[in-house]
Structure 1
Amino acid sequence: MSIDLDTEEWLGCPTPLEMYQHQCALLEDELIQTESMLRKARANVAGLVQMNDLLATGKTTAEAKLRYFEAELSRTNVESSEMAKEIMGLKMIASQNEHLLRENQRLLVELTNLKEPST
């Protein structure tokens, strides 16, 4: 019996060349998957960049509108303040008018009492 038999052929053991070929096939599959993932990642990044541009444009528009409405609000507050001053002035005049009317009525009653002889 010969003990020095070559055991590489036993039980379907691969040769070193077959092992290298198999390793190359695994690496090729991994590279294909990596390329696919890279393409998807690039598409995602491009989508995110586009979304960021849209958001930045929207933000700029919103900030411009905010500045416009802040100025409009400020102008409206000034107008409201001026109207409040006018209203206060008119209320003071109305109050003085009422006071003068009552005083006029009182003096009219006194004058009527003085003209009429007391009986």
Structure 2
Amino acid sequence: MEPYEIEDTSDWLGCPTELETCRQFLRMAENEIQELNLQLRKAREDIFGLIQMHADAIAQRDEAMANLRTRSGESATLRKQLYDLDISARSHHREAERLRGILDGITPQPKTII
């Protein structure tokens, strides 16, 4: 047996030929490509879902911010009204005290006997 014949297994029983080996490798490569395409498709769907969720979150955030701005404006208006009412109440209280003092000066104090 010559040394160059040692690597030649084409005549051995049950050993695949070079063509069969190439076909087997081709099938394995095709299966792997199909699997990678499925994974790529799923990844794209997942990314699309995440993009949609992000867009929904942005829309909700914008709606919440608009609502917050509206409520903030209403709150400022109410604080201003409360401040005006507090000033008015203090003014009326001072006026009532002044009138009470005038009234107390006009009417004699009842004398109580103990």
TM-score class normalised by the smaller sequence: 0.7 to 0.9
The alpha carbon displacement at 1:50 in A equals: 1.6
Deviation of 1:7 after TM superposition, in Å, equals 4.1
Q: Percent identity?
A: 27
Question: Deviations for 1:66-95, whole angstroms, at most 9, x for unmatched residues?
Answer: 111111111111111000000111111122
2:112 is matched with: none
Aligned runs of 1:51-66 on 2, under 5 Å?
51-66=53-68
Structure-1 separation of matches of 2:102 and 2:22: 115
Tell me the matched-pair count: 105
Q: TM-score, normalised by structure 1?
A: 0.76
Aligned to 2:45: 43
Greater share of residues in helix: 1
Deviation at 1:101, TM superposition (A): 2.6
- CA offset at residue 21 of structure 1? 1.1
Give TM-score scaled by structure 2 length: 0.79
For 1:7 and 1:84, locate their aligned partners in 2 and report how far apart those are by CA, in whole Å: 104
Judged with a 3 Å threshold, the aligned counterparts in structure 2 of structure 1 residues 7 and 60 are, in CA distance, closer, same or farther, namely: closer
Map of 2:35 onto structure 1? 33
Q: 1:75 aligns with which of 61, 74, 77?
A: 77
Q: Distance between the aligned counterparts of 1:39 and 1:22, measured in 2?
A: 26
Change (3 A) 1:33 1:66: same
Return 5+ residue gaps in structure 1 as ranges: 110-119
User: 1:46 deviation in Å?
Assistant: 1.6
Larger Rg: 1
Name the Cα RMSD after superposition.
2.0
Query: Aligned partners of 1:97 and 1:9: how far apart in 2?
Result: 127
CA distance in structure 2 between the partners assigned to 1:73 and 1:89 by the alignment: 24
